[in-house]
Amino acid sequence: MKVLVAVKRVVDYNVKVRVKADNSGVDLANVKMSMNPFCEIAVEEAVRLKEKGVATEIVAVAVGPTAAQEQLRTALALGADRAILVETAEELNSLAVAKALKAIVDKEQPQLVILGKQAIDSDNNQTGQMLAALTGYAQGTFASKVEVAGDKLNVTREIDGGLQTVSLNLPAIVTTDLRLNEPRYASLPNIMKAKKKPLETVTPDALGVSTASTTKTVKVEAPAARSAGIKVKSVAELVEKLKNEAKVI
């Protein structure tokens, strides 16, 4: 089984995001960038499938700038066999990314595609579902457990009411939730080995994919500062304030 894993370069989750002075977007100058945490979970799941003997090859794919090679090298250090970068300096929306990934899927013909359910920068939670629509593959989103059973894939999904298990025909697309696994750290020997693993670079034009955006960012603003809280001396005072000031009871 060939497994394709999509990874995204995002602002590191420990970094406090700053908005540009002209409100045109997020300031990325001199900011630490990392692999999207949900993508780390996707890579880990693919590696575990290979360790179980289910997967035979793991291909990591990123759509983004040249610097995204850093995140692909991280995926290679974690256990991916080779990597592909669809290189573009444009800021792409979810549909454009899904179209680029669809072109890679058509080329590589994987039996399983794993993506993070969302990226922590845009928080759109769209690419996996759009890719499934474009490819016609079965999909299991918000996965907290993945099991391969013959030519079927059983995916346990986290939904509002609890858990739901769906049985998918392969090839299939899975998007990962937080509780699917705990990603490992790349060891130094594997980081060194990753430098020698193949990393192919292609352009959207070479894939025949249009990256023209159908959306436009009008303005980006930081959230309003929260007002300071207060301390109450008794339960009676708390109830009084909830009733007369907050008016929630």
- CATH number of the domain within which 206 lies: 3.40.50.620
Measured between alpha carbons, how far is 105 from 1 in angstroms, rounded to an integer? 14
pLDDT (mean) for 46-50: 97
Give yes or no for residue 24 having a pLDDT over 90.
Answer: no
Q: Is residue 225 part of a domain?
A: yes
- The tens digit of pLDDT for each residue in 158-208 reads 999 899 999 999 999 999 999 999 999 999 999 999 999 999 999 999 999
CA distances 144 to 150, 163, 165, 176, 224, Å, are 20, 9, 10, 7, 34
Query: Hey, what amino acid is at 2?
Result: K
| For residues 57-65, average pLDDT | 96
Provide the percentage of residues in the chain whose pLDDT is more than 70: 100
Position 249 in a domain: no
Given a cut of 90, whether residue 63 has pLDDT beyond it is: yes
Mutual orientation of helices 94-108 and 127-135 as an angle, nearest 10°? 50
Identify whether 104 is part of a domain.
yes
Instruction: Quick: pLDDT tens for 83-142.
Output: 999 999 888 899 999 999 999 999 999 999 999 999 999 899 999 999 999 999 999 999
- In a domain? residue 61: yes
Q: Is 249 exposed, middle or buried (0-12, 13-18, 19+ CB in 10 A)?
A: exposed
Domain assignment present for residue 59? The answer is yes
pLDDT of residue 62 exceeding 90? yes
pLDDT at 130: 96
Instruction: Choose between 25 and 57: higher pLDDT.
Output: 57
What average pLDDT does the segment 15-32 reach? 88
Position 27 scores a pLDDT of 87
Dihedral of CA atoms 69, 108, 38, 28 in degrees, nearest 10, equals 30
Instruction: Name the most confidently modeled range: 19-28, 130-139, 142-151, 214-223.
Output: 130-139
Amino acid at 115: L
Q: What range does the domain containing 114 cover?
A: 2-244
Q: Count of domains in the chain?
A: 1
Can you give the pLDDT at residue 215?
82
Residue 45 inside a domain? The answer is yes
In a domain, 132, yes or no: yes
